[in-house]
Amino acid sequence: MAEKINKVVLAYSGGLDTSIILKWLQVTYDCEVVTFTADLGQGEELEPARRKAEMLGIKEIFIDDLREEFVADYVFPMFRANTVYEGQYLLGTAIARPLIAKRQIEIAKAVGADAVCHGATGKGNDQVRFELGYYALNPDIKVIAPWREWDLHSRTDLINFAEQHQIPVPKDKRGESPFSVDANLLHTSSEGKALEDPWMEAEGHVYSRTDDPVADAPVEPEYIEIEFEKGDAVAINGVAMTPATMLTALNDHGRKHGIGRLDLLENRFVGMKSRGIYETPGGTILLAAHRGIEQITLDKGAMHLKDEIMPKYAEAIYNGFWFSPEREMMQALIDQSQEFVAGTVRLMLYKGAAHVVGRKSQYSLYSMEHVTFEEDSVYDQRDAEGFIKLNALRLQLLKRRGKVTEPPAYD
């Protein structure tokens, strides 16, 4: 017999799976269901989700526009660290989950719910990310994960359940989906089915957010300038923008040049490898630009320390530990480094790539007087001799030891 639940807040997309979950919750737990749909810039009309929830008898429906909060408080802090997972992935799915979890917990408190529910499967990372977020924000919340609990084991089972309970099944959902798609303002992620063979190239129709960089991208490059303040992008070509409008504009620039495509075989937190096709047009441009402004404003020691901790920071986000003390500690260090990361970066966008071609800042650490190949009066090249000798000393001592004695023998 199912545990007694009075009210549950469901992360609800309005699609077939979460509509089945909604009805399953009502049938299994005999509880009141509250739906929560987050607008993270996925590009879909959200009112159909409201109408579908109403059709299924839901009285309390939350549809929240979280785009500005998503970019300002999650995407931008992550990009201050130049975050990539396993050298390539810009974490577009992972960074959205803590915000959804946070809002679900807030709604649960507001409506007096004793449980929350997500639609992530038992094989993926998202179940971990959602639930670590839930428990970090409310240690006593009850979490319902239908894919780990129910006895619906196939697409046929799901469709049969839907038809039994008068849940509309779109015709294209009656067969096997070619692949699944997750989207938000930062990226799109396509996984599963037709993409599961890592040897097979993804077909062109998989890409929904970028034009083909070879066949469709402009034959002439485009130049743009991005302005930064304290590590965050604030304007494009002199036009000030909010965080969400900034990322939207960068997505538009990236789309037409085919920027930000990635075919990645990654290591999931739960232990298996998976293949994903990602599109992050605006984020790819933003990452290049941010590194460009740091090149001219950030001290060598600070830059190298950031680069050292970045993989740990990326792993914390990927694994769902956004609300952990270690992530917050790393964030404090990263944000401290960004005080003088301000200025303008000029980029050339062309055929799938974003190239930094210029950077300037009122806080520049670049000294043309010191680096010039012409005569200067600020750098005495003879000083390098002592610097080199001091750094070579330990290497010389090691080599001399090897010439004098053989390594000791041990019985």
Catalytic residues: 17, 97, 126, 180
Residue 359 near residue 293, CB atoms below 8 Å: yes
360 vs 346: CA distance, rounded Å: 9
Cross-strand pairs, 72: none
Nearest to 23 by CA among 65, 55, 61, 68: 55
DSSP 7: E
Residue 152 near residue 158, CB atoms below 8 Å: yes
3-state secondary structure (DSSP) of residue 259 = coil
Query: Two tokens at 357?
Result: 């071609």
324 vs 62: CA distance, rounded Å: 27
| Secondary structure, 3-state, 279-326 | ECHHHHHHHHHHHHHHHHHCCHHHHHHHHHHHHHHHHHHHCCCCCCHH
Nearest to 78 by CA among 322, 406, 350: 322
- Which residues are CB-contacts of 354 (< 8 A; sequence separation ≥ 6)? 254, 257, 259, 284, 285, 288, 289, 347, 348
Nearest to 331 by CA among 92, 102, 77: 77
Radius of gyration of the chain (CA): 26
Strand pairing class (61-65; 180-183): unpaired
Residue 231 near residue 341, CB atoms below 8 Å: yes
Cross-strand pairs, 33: 8
Side chain identity at 52, as an amino acid letter? Answer: K
| CA angle (182 as vertex; 178, 183 as ends), nearest 5 | 130
Side chain identity at 166, as an amino acid letter? Answer: Q
Residue 40 near residue 66, CB atoms below 8 Å: yes
DSSP character string of 162-207: HHHTT----GGGSS--S-EEEE-SS-EEEESGGG--TTSPPPGGG-
